[in-house]
Amino acid sequence: MLGFLSARHIGLDDPLRLKRVEITRRVLSLELNKDRDVEQIHGNGVNTLDIEAIEGRYMLSGGADGVIVIYDLENCSRKPQYTCKSVCTVGRSNRHVHQFSVETVQWYPHDTGMFTSSSFDKTLKVWDTETLLPAEVFHFEGNVYCHHMSPIARKHSLIAVGTKDPKVQLCDLKSGSRIHILQGHRGEVLSVKWSPRYEHILATASTDSRVRLWDVRKASGSLFTLDQHNDEKSKASSEAANTAHNGRVNGLCFTSDGLYLLTTGTDDRMRLWNSSTGENTLVNYGKVSNESRKGLKFTVSSGCSPEFVFVPCGGTIAMYALYTGELITMLRGHYNNVDCCEFHPDFQDLYSGGKDCNILAWVPTPRNPAIENEDEGSKKTGGQSSFNPAFQDAWSSSDEEG
């Protein structure tokens, strides 16, 4: 570590290198920490989490009972022991609360004055954060599985909504209209995501095993469909031709630079695609168990040198290296199925919510404070908890005592 600092100081290394190395080290040492906790407000499972991108301070969570909670993640208490408190909630007593489970929540990408939530009560509500009243409500014919608003869009304020209907609907925040639809899928649309690189590119995943990429300015249909066999029609049976997965596709995530797209499906596979050509990069992650009947929300780290993807697998969160497919570790801590996870890029924290109504915060292990007379042999860098004499082995193995 000191080597990197001095290299940056002299000018041998790019300053970005130290940042990347340190971020990677921190992400590799994620674990549950007794000092960090998130206040438990939800009485039912937590379906979705979102951390706002402007300050990284507030987190939205949506639960299976329709409740939406806003947490303050910042630690102003000057003590390491900190519980993230809820700032406000849209609880069951609120007149405008969702009737059924909230499936997706998202902050307005440009400031925290507004957020959107969609739910199984067939509505998408746009809320004002100050007053916690919905400024706009969009009604749909079927359950709304997911929605997403482009994080980088300047020229449009479209929200893409995936519902039980095979048509993907685009709702415009500026005018309140919903006439733009994207046709092409033949099954329910389980996940939609805008590209973080190009503001007009949208990816949608559906139960008909297909993932389509759209340019919303184009009138005539999707740009292309992701094909898991990369056009080698010979590898698959003819029904499986041109599909992204051999089952329902229920999770989508772009990498932070927007160059690659990850998809997960109920065939227990996760695939990495080149988002500009639609080519399957054939990275083999092994079996990523996936039994979710709705969308699966997973996340990719950002800022690390080899990127990592965090996928909820049953009751644990599996962490894979993005480009090699290697399973790094499984984060265990939830009592029941994990439904969503969200990565905080500034502090390299991972927040995950599940059916056990808990939101867990996975924090990089704090560094061991350097002890003066530490000998050479124990110079192991990376994640060591501080020595607590109560946990040290007190028995001696020497033969002299016997």
Partner 1 sequence: MLYISFSREPVFESKHWSLYTMNRKRSLISDTFKVKKRRLGTESCFGVQVNGKNSILQDVPLDTKGALQYLASLFPRKLFNDTLPPIVLKHQLYSIKQDRTLVDRQLNELKDQGEILMFQLGFDTDAFAVVFAQDYKVKALAAEAGRETLGTVQKFLETVLPSCMDLSFNKEKMLKKFLFRDQEITQLVKSGVLTVRDAGSWWLAIPNSGRFTKFFIQGRKAVLGMIKKSKYKEVLQTDLECRKMTSHVKLGIQYHIHDIIGAELVECVPTTSGILLRLTDT
Closer to partner 1 by CB, 277 or 388: give it.
388
Closer to partner 1 by CB, 93 or 386: give it.
386
What is the C-alpha to C-alpha distance for residues 132 and 184, in angstroms, rounded to an integer? 36
Q: In terms of Cα–Cα distance, which of 339, 317, 376 is closest to 62?
A: 339
What is the C-alpha to C-alpha distance for residues 174 and 151, in angstroms, rounded to an integer? 16
Task: Name which position in 92, 139, 186, 287 contacts partner 1 (CB under 8 A).
Answer: 287
Q: How far is the CB of 205 from partner 1 (least distance, A)?
A: 19
Q: Does 402 bind partner 1 (CB under 8 A)?
A: no
Q: Which residues of 136-165 are buried (b: 16+ CB within 10 A; e: fewer)?
A: eebebeebbbbbbbbbeeeebbbbbbbbbb
Alpha helices, DSSP H, located in 223-354? none
What is the C-alpha to C-alpha distance for residues 159 and 194, in angstroms, rounded to an integer? 9
3-class secondary structure, 233? helix
Answer whether 93's CB lies under 8 Å from 73's CB.
no
Closer to partner 1 by CB, 153 or 240: give it.
240
Q: Footprint of partner 1 on residues 34-93 (CB under 8 A)? A: 34, 37
Alpha-carbon torsion (297, 303, 309, 315), positive or negative: negative
Q: Does 282 bind partner 1 (CB under 8 A)?
A: yes
Count the residues of the shown chain that bind partner 1, applying the rule CB under 8 A: 52
Q: Does 237 bind partner 1 (CB under 8 A)?
A: yes
What is the C-alpha to C-alpha distance for residues 70 and 376, in angstroms, rounded to an integer? 47
Q: How far is the CB of 345 from partner 1 (least distance, A)?
A: 18
Q: Footprint of partner 1 on residues 352-381 (CB under 8 A)? A: 365, 376-377, 379-381
Q: Does 137 bind partner 1 (CB under 8 A)?
A: no
Q: Does 151 bind partner 1 (CB under 8 A)?
A: no
Q: Which stretch binds partner 1 (CB under 8 A): 95-103, 153-161, 193-201, 333-341?
A: 333-341
Task: Name which position in 109, 187, 345, 383 contacts partner 1 (CB under 8 A).
Answer: 383
Q: Does 28 bind partner 1 (CB under 8 A)?
A: yes
Q: How far is the CB of 31 from partner 1 (least distance, A)?
A: 6
For residue 190, give the H/E element and its range.
strand 189-194
Residue 386, Cβ density class (10 Å: 0-12 exposed, 13-18 middle, ≥19 buried): exposed
Q: How far is the CB of 274 from partner 1 (least distance, A)?
A: 15
Only one residue has tokens 């990197």, namely 4
Q: Which stretch binds partner 1 (CB under 8 A): 118-126, 190-198, 248-256, 323-331?
A: 323-331
Residues contributing to the site for partner 1 (CB under 8 A) = 1, 21, 24-25, 28-29, 31-34, 37, 232-238, 240, 246, 268, 282-287, 289, 305, 314-315, 321, 324-326, 328-329, 332-335, 365, 376-377, 379-385, 391
